[in-house]
Amino acid sequence: QLQLQGSGPGLVKPSETLSLTCTVSGGSISSSSYYWGWIRQPPGKGLEWIGSIYYSGNTYYNPSLKSRVTISVDTSKNQFSLKLSSVTAADTAVYYCARQPHITIFGVVTSPSWFDPWGQGTLVTVSS
């Protein structure tokens, strides 16, 4: 059974860089069938997609965060990571990692789709 486990500091100072890692177990991050994504949820609010990465290193980022986000993958460790720079209090949120399957139409791989499963989430607070 595939599991995702996020890890990283729970407290980051304003203007610094938030760094989180997601470790995948029970399956390979190098599968051609999946992207791997980061989604965040501010306290009491909804879900916001941050970005997604393929095992080859191909990435998609949310345009609203693109200038501050870097997502990378380490296939040897079965991990992918998120870096968000110049954080402010508005970046305080629970950060989730999740697997994102490709849609396959008549055997042809098209695009990343929904998110399943999700990691347990890491609360990151931005505060001095």
Partner 1 sequence: EIVMTQSPATLSVSPGERATLSCRASQSVSSYLAWYQQKPGQAPRLLIYDASTRATGIPARFSGSGSGTEFTLTISSLQSEDFAVYYCQQYNNWPPWTFGQGTKVEIK
Among 36, 54, 55, 61, binds partner 1 (CB under 8 A): 61
User: Is position 116 an interface residue for partner 1 (rule: CB under 8 A)?
Assistant: yes
118 is an interface residue for partner 1 by CB under 8 A: yes
Out of 73, 112, 124, 126, point to the residue binding partner 1 (CB under 8 A): 112
Q: How many residues bind partner 1 (CB under 8 A)?
A: 24
Contact status: 34 vs partner 1 (CB under 8 A) = no
How far apart CA 69 and CA 88 sit, in angstroms, is: 14
Question: Which of 63, 67, 88, 106 contacts partner 1 by CB under 8 A?
Answer: 63
Residues near partner 1, by CB under 8 A: 37, 46-49, 52, 60-64, 96, 103, 111-121
